[in-house]
Structure 1
Amino acid sequence: MQTIPDGIEITATHADARGLDLPPLLVLEPVIEFMDARGLGSGPLSWARIGDGQSNITYRIDRGSDVFVLRRGPRPPLPKSTHDMVREARIQQLLGRHYVPVPEILAVCEDHSVLGVPFYIMSFMEGVVITDTVPAHLDSSAQRAAASAAAVDTLIQLHQIPADAGELATIGRPEGYLRRQVERFSTLWDVNTTRTLPDVPRIGAWLEQNIPASQATAVIHGDFRLGNLMFSRDEPARVTGILDWEMATLGDPLTDLGYLTATYAEPGSVPTPLELTPVTGEPGFLDRAQLIARYRDRMDLDLEALPWYQTLALWKASIFCEAIYTRWLHGERPEDTVFGPSLKTGVPQLLLAAGQFAGTSRG
């Protein structure tokens, strides 16, 4: 745990940030005042980054014996209707009432004077996340299979929540969801790039010409993958928390299944920047076909058009990642020395994989 300010990322006060090229991500004094006013711990604050934070940024906050998690968006300026921490917190509050494993939201701050952007504080959830290593208690063939099966089962449980259940019905507009996704992301490329990649409009046109009819409406997570799931610290493997709800809405449930399977590493798959849990390509984990079969067995949906949803997932991801790459090129991600520069080739990799799912790859 860090206990003192750390250069450009953390400062003790707003005064300490004056003269910096970029605003700090965490300012300790106003955060302590905010937490004190809401009875969230007492005494000195220590912090540690959680995860890679390629989009929104999450910190573990310790105050005495109390542990919290603070989540905020990246530094401004932010694209319109993105990184909405207030909405993200509200969605988790609503889903918690339906027994979805989400953290308890303890406080929401809409006052930009505290950190420059809205943020929220939630409870700290115990568990482990599977990324490039497998926790020892899950590192057997049986538990590897159980972990990947638990991921699909958790997605099924989310999709089986009635989408018209009270306030949940207000979190999105399911009618025309797929067409809006294609149209919206088609417009985002030009404002987020400094280069020309012909596969972006080519795949976008294919998606627009082949939009499937949605068979159901569900609460969709929008970034459902193993890296956003927290597993128990003992066996058998079970999901104890679903993280990162920024893109949650109401829409076509197959968008989640398409994203999960398109970004899921399996033996022989070509790595992309979205294969963030590469260990699933090792023996013991279910492969994509097995994930799909498990979902099909419990959901009354025709999955013939799933390649369209997988294409959509990677095409959208290429546009998200291009925005990150452009911010890195402009010096807006000074702490990013690995992911940002990797996207020079990573975005074309995503587009190549998207074209393979669509059957339109140029090879």
Structure 2
Amino acid sequence: MHTVPDGVEVVASWDAARHLESPPLLVVDAVTDFLDTHGVGHGPMAWQRIGDGQSNITYLLQRGGDCVVLRRGPRPPLPKSTHDMVREARIQKILRGHGVPVPEIVAVCEDESLLGVPFYLMSRLEGTVVTDAIPSHLSSLEQRGATSVAVVDTLVALHRIDVTRGELASLGSPDGYLRRQVDRFSGLWEVNTSRSLPAVERIADWLGRNLPTSQAAAVVHGDYRMGNLMFAPHAPAGVLAVLDWEMATLGDPLADLGYMTATYSEAGALPTPLELTPVTRAPGYLTRLQLADRYRSRTGLDLTPLPWYQTLALWKAAIFCEAIYTRWRRGERPDDTDFGPSLETGVPRLLDMAAQYAGLIPAPRA
């Protein structure tokens, strides 16, 4: 944990940020005042950046004996209708009331004068996020399989929630969800790129011409993957919390399954910029096909059109990553020395994989 501001990412006050080319991400005195207002801890605040997110930013804050997690969007300027921290906090409050494992929301700040963007505080949970190392308590072959099973079963439980009544019904309209996704992300490409990649339009055309009929309506997480799950700190494997609800809405549940399986790392598959939990390449974890089969057996949904949803997932991911790449090229991600530059080739690789799921280009031979 850090107690002294670094003068670039974290500053003591807005006055200390005047000389910076880019606005800071954390302003100690502003956040400390906010913690005072909501009765969180006493005395100096320590901070630590956590998580693997390439979009929104998360800090662990410690003050006296209290710990909370602060979540905020990236530095402005922000694309419209993205990084809505107020909406994200509201969604988690609603879902917590339906038994979905999410952190408790402690406070929400809509006043942009404090950090330049809205943010919220949530409770700290003692758990494990599985990324590039297998936790010791989940390292046996049995627990590796149980970890994969927990990923699928948590998604099934989310998709079983009735979205036709109460506050959930106000989160969006599932009707026309797939068409809106294709149209919306086609428009996002046009405003978030500075280069020509014809595959984007080609895949968009294929998606539009082969739109499946949705079989159900559900809460769609939008970024459902193992790296956005926190597991209990002991065996057996169990999901303590589902994290990162920025893209959640009501829609077609197979969109989540398509994303989860298309971005899931398995032995023999080519890596992508979205390979954020590479450990599932190791023996013991379920394969993509096994994940899908378990989901099908518990929901009864027809997975014949799953390649369409996998195509959609990787095509959307390419467009989202292109926005990050463009921001990096413009100097709007000054702390990013790895992920941003990797997207020069990473985005075309995602598009190639999307085209393979669509059958537009042949898949590489093993």
- Counterpart secondary structure, 1:68: strand
8 Å contact kept, 1:203–1:315: yes
Residue 41 of structure 2 aligns with which residue? Answer: 41
The 5-angstrom pairing of residues 1-363 of structure 1 reads 1-361=1-361
The one-letter amino acid of 1:85's match is: M
CA displacement at 1:229 relative to structure 2: 0.3
The one-letter amino acid of 1:275's match is: E
> Partners of 1:175 and 1:164 in 2: how far apart?
12
The one-letter amino acid of 1:151's match is: V
> Partners of 2:224 and 2:74 in 1: how far apart?
21
- Counterpart secondary structure, 1:333: coil
What 5-or-longer segments of structure 1 have no aligned partner?
none
> Partners of 2:78 and 2:169 in 1: how far apart?
27
The one-letter amino acid of 1:278's match is: P
RMSD, aligned CA: 0.8
> Partners of 1:223 and 1:173 in 2: how far apart?
19
> Partners of 2:198 and 2:323 in 1: how far apart?
17
CA displacement at 1:362 relative to structure 2: 5.8
**CA displacement 1:42-78 (0-9 Å, x = unmatched):** 1110000011331000000000111100000001111
- Counterpart secondary structure, 1:115: coil
> Partners of 1:327 and 1:7 in 2: how far apart?
22
8 Å contact kept, 2:41–2:64: yes
Counting aligned pairs with the same residue, the percent is: 66
The one-letter amino acid of 2:220's match is: I
> Partners of 1:173 and 1:276 in 2: how far apart?
30
**CA displacement 1:221-251 (0-9 Å, x = unmatched):** 0000000000111101010110000000000
- Counterpart secondary structure, 1:106: strand
> Partners of 2:53 and 2:12 in 1: how far apart?
21
> Partners of 2:155 and 2:43 in 1: how far apart?
40
The one-letter amino acid of 2:160's match is: Q
The one-letter amino acid of 1:108's match is: V
> Partners of 1:281 and 1:337 in 2: how far apart?
26
- Counterpart secondary structure, 2:174: coil
CA distance 1:303–1:220, shift in 2 (3 Å): same
> Partners of 2:42 and 2:254 in 1: how far apart?
45
CA displacement at 1:213 relative to structure 2: 0.4
The one-letter amino acid of 2:251's match is: G
**CA displacement 1:77-107 (0-9 Å, x = unmatched):** 1111100000000000000001111000010
CA distance 1:301–1:362, shift in 2 (3 Å): closer
CA displacement at 1:190 relative to structure 2: 1.7
> Partners of 1:190 and 1:259 in 2: how far apart?
22
CA displacement at 1:281 relative to structure 2: 1.0
- Counterpart secondary structure, 1:219: strand
- Counterpart secondary structure, 1:348: helix
> Partners of 2:265 and 2:137 in 1: how far apart?
21
8 Å contact kept, 1:144–1:284: yes
8 Å contact kept, 1:129–1:230: yes
> Partners of 1:320 and 1:7 in 2: how far apart?
30
- Counterpart secondary structure, 1:112: coil
8 Å contact kept, 2:7–2:16: no
The one-letter amino acid of 2:339's match is: F
> Partners of 1:170 and 1:223 in 2: how far apart?
20
- The count of aligned residue pairs is 363
> Partners of 2:275 and 2:53 in 1: how far apart?
15
8 Å contact kept, 1:270–1:353: no
After the TM superposition, list the runs of 4 or more consecutive aligned residues in structure 1 that deviate by more than 6 angstroms.
none
CA displacement at 1:134 relative to structure 2: 0.4
CA displacement at 1:300 relative to structure 2: 2.0
8 Å contact kept, 1:55–1:74: yes
**CA displacement 1:110-157 (0-9 Å, x = unmatched):** 001100100000100110011011001101110000000000000000
> Partners of 1:18 and 1:123 in 2: how far apart?
32
**CA displacement 1:249-268 (0-9 Å, x = unmatched):** 00000000000000001111
8 Å contact kept, 1:318–1:347: yes
The one-letter amino acid of 1:185's match is: F
- Counterpart secondary structure, 2:35: helix
The one-letter amino acid of 2:175's match is: E
The one-letter amino acid of 2:19's match is: G
- Counterpart secondary structure, 1:62: strand
